[in-house]
Amino acid sequence: MLKKLGLIATCIFVYGGVSLAQVEITPTRPEFVVANAASRDGQDLSGSWSYSIDPYRDGLYGFHGSPSGYGHQRFAPQDVDIATRRAPSALFEYDMARSPRVTLPSSWTNHAPEMRHYEGLVWYSRTFEAKKKRGERSFIRVGAANYTARVYLNGELAGTHEGGFTPFTFEVTDLVKSGENNVTIGVDSQRTDKSVPPPVTDWETYGGITRPVQFITTPETFIDDAWVRLDPDNRHIRVTVRLDGPKAASQPIQLSIEELGIDLREETNADGIWTAVFPAPERLVRWSPENPKLYDVTITAGEDDLAERIGFRTISVEGEDILLNGKPVYLRGISMHEEELGRDPSRVMTEAAARALLTEIKDGLNGNFVRLAHYPHSESTVRLADEMGLLVWSEIPVYWRIDWEDEGTLDAARAMLAENILRDRNRASVILWSVANETPVSEARNIFLNTLIDDVRELDDTRLVTAALLTSQSDQGDGEVARVDDPLVTSLDVMAVNTYNGWYGNVPLAEVHEISWLSDHGKPMIFSEYGAGAQAGFHEVKNPRKFTEEYQAEYYRQTLAMADRVPFLRGMSPWILKDFRSPRRQHPIYQQGWNRKGLISETGERKEAFDILAAYYRTMTETSDETSTE
């Protein structure tokens, strides 16, 4: 249920040199943003839900493809037992109320042993009490459901959504009733060659409802979107607020930041939008990893108000430097997946679980940066990064083998991008939006990714755009040379490359430090990935081979020595903080279904390489002047 705003541009793009397609250049926006949704009135529907698997999608279609029949509709709110007592010949082949119960949010991987590798449709259902009030609107918001979802309230379809990592909200004002309500969500983890990401990745799919479901109530006219940020000129604060509802136009509106003595009162325009620019007060403290200062911001419009905690900072590029608040910054980072510590994770990324991982980065590694790979992580993780002082790389799962020629695929990617940016553009920690990971160059791919880059620039002109690229490498007599020769670089602010010499490829580990890097782009580069696998506790000191801690440690020494020789390198997010589940990694001794490139094991045990990176970053903090707070 996505509303496409704006005009269809008249640009004609050539797809793959064959077909002509008209691409809408105005970004696809979700119908509702519901800024700071967690702070909204209503009910958190996290907790106990019943579930029923449906691998043949029997709840949706009969066996000849027609809509499902009465006895199959998992979304119908009836009590099957009572119905069959009343009509003894009625046949029901489900009973949601008597199905097993589980606690959401969580992927279904841990619901039962037989769910561990399940892919397909699962129905979830629960009831909640509501009281309908005149002049009040109601919504169901899902933080994330992987990969497609259908939401029903009291048996009626409220909406459908594609994309496993971004929030979606459906209005249910007309469907909700006073008393008991039934909400049923069908989540289908099945992906196709046209989905984003495609079925083949290097991580666990984690199908299911992995972030909170909320029942939200708002006044008839409410503040749907509010974006408050420091202008790139570093001297002004800019505000954009969008109201939704019958009284959105010409509505008195107020913004206050008490600590800064800011109290603005104006009116929305005819479209329900208020934009303002005003000088940043002298005493404004800039947000930075060293001083992650957040301000309480309140917006009031009619009967609605919205509270936010917002940090103010600038991020820009000058030549080969990345500037935070006008000063060069080196990104001392690491990558992470959304997977909690423990032997049996199921993507239950509570705040405590995220804090445990981010603390390892901030305090353990002396880091100031995290790459949240390979899809948008939960909003609470990004808010935590704001609070703890970690710069964030945020990305959408445009990964490996995307169908570059399919318009539906492009639409899906654009929708995910917009949902991600609109959710997180108030977070000072987010400095980089990434549009892709390791995508081979082709004409169709360049067009696809340039459309996404244009969208980013349209939705957010205060951050940098990047993508994790592949590079070419050769030895033409004077040593191994790696080149950043992807034509996409022209459109990016920061070049990012994934490089695995010494783990993949033919360069011997001992020679990795000699590799040279060439770029004539005059832009900053970061190593968005490099890494080697090691099983925690597996040692071979004399002749270390792959998967020993010693090999991984030497890999880090070699790669860091190489990094020291790259004149335009401005940061790194090695692969990866923690061992993570990946069905493609099946060495029976070293991997057992885990990608072992973590610097800590799945239970948090630090490997030798952890200390090498931590020491490298510590030295950097000791030698650099890091007081970018003004």
Residues lying near ligand GCB in the complex (CB under 6 A)? 202, 374, 437-438, 498, 529, 575, 595, 597
Q: How many CA atoms lie within 13 A of 117 on its CB side?
A: 4
**Closest distance of CB 557 from ligand GCB, Å:** 19
Report the residue number, 92 or 400, with the smaller CB distance to ligand GCB. Answer: 400
- Cis previous bond, 330, omega within 30: no
* SS3 per residue for 301-333: ECCEEEEEEECCCCEEEECCEEEECCEECCEEE
Report the residue number, 204 or 626, with the smaller CB distance to ligand GCB. Answer: 204
Report the residue number, 58 or 529, with the smaller CB distance to ligand GCB. Answer: 529
* SS3 per residue for 463-530: CEEEEEECCEEEECCCCEEEECCCHHHHHCCEEEEECCECCECCCCHHHHHHCEEECCCCCCEEEEEC
User: Beta 168-171 vs 12-15: how paired, if at all?
Assistant: unpaired
**Closest distance of CB 144 from ligand GCB, Å:** 19
**Closest distance of CB 500 from ligand GCB, Å:** 7
Report the residue number, 80 or 470, with the smaller CB distance to ligand GCB. Answer: 470
**Closest distance of CB 528 from ligand GCB, Å:** 8
Report the residue number, 224 or 549, with the smaller CB distance to ligand GCB. Answer: 549
Contact predicate 188/120, CB 8 Å: yes
**Closest distance of CB 395 from ligand GCB, Å:** 10
**Closest distance of CB 488 from ligand GCB, Å:** 16
**Closest distance of CB 547 from ligand GCB, Å:** 13
**Closest distance of CB 575 from ligand GCB, Å:** 5
Q: Sign of torsion, CA 338 324 456 428?
A: positive
Q: Which residue matches tokens 């045990």?
A: 605
Q: How far apart are CA 287 and CA 577, in angstroms?
A: 25
Report the residue number, 138 or 434, with the smaller CB distance to ligand GCB. Answer: 434
Q: Which residue matches tokens 């704001």?
A: 386
Contact predicate 101/49, CB 8 Å: yes
**Closest distance of CB 202 from ligand GCB, Å:** 4
**Closest distance of CB 613 from ligand GCB, Å:** 16
Burial class (CB in 10 A: 0-12, 13-18, 19+), 481: middle
Report the residue number, 130 or 449, with the smaller CB distance to ligand GCB. Answer: 449
Burial class (CB in 10 A: 0-12, 13-18, 19+), 589: exposed
Contact predicate 423/433, CB 8 Å: no
Contact predicate 492/463, CB 8 Å: no
| Residue 287, CA distances (Å) to 6, 119, 313, 498 in order | 34, 42, 5, 29
Other beta carbons less than 10 A from residue 612's beta carbon: 19
Q: Which two tokens stand for residue 463?
A: 């951050």
Cα Rg, the chain, nearest whole Å: 25
Report the residue number, 438 or 550, with the smaller CB distance to ligand GCB. Answer: 438
Report the residue number, 405 or 438, with the smaller CB distance to ligand GCB. Answer: 438
Contact predicate 374/467, CB 8 Å: no
Q: How far apart are CA 382 and CA 376, in angstroms?
A: 9
Report the residue number, 125 or 201, with the smaller CB distance to ligand GCB. Answer: 201
**Closest distance of CB 142 from ligand GCB, Å:** 26
Report the residue number, 323 or 413, with the smaller CB distance to ligand GCB. Answer: 413
Q: Which residue matches tokens 């957010």?
A: 460
Residue nearest to ligand GCB (CB): 202
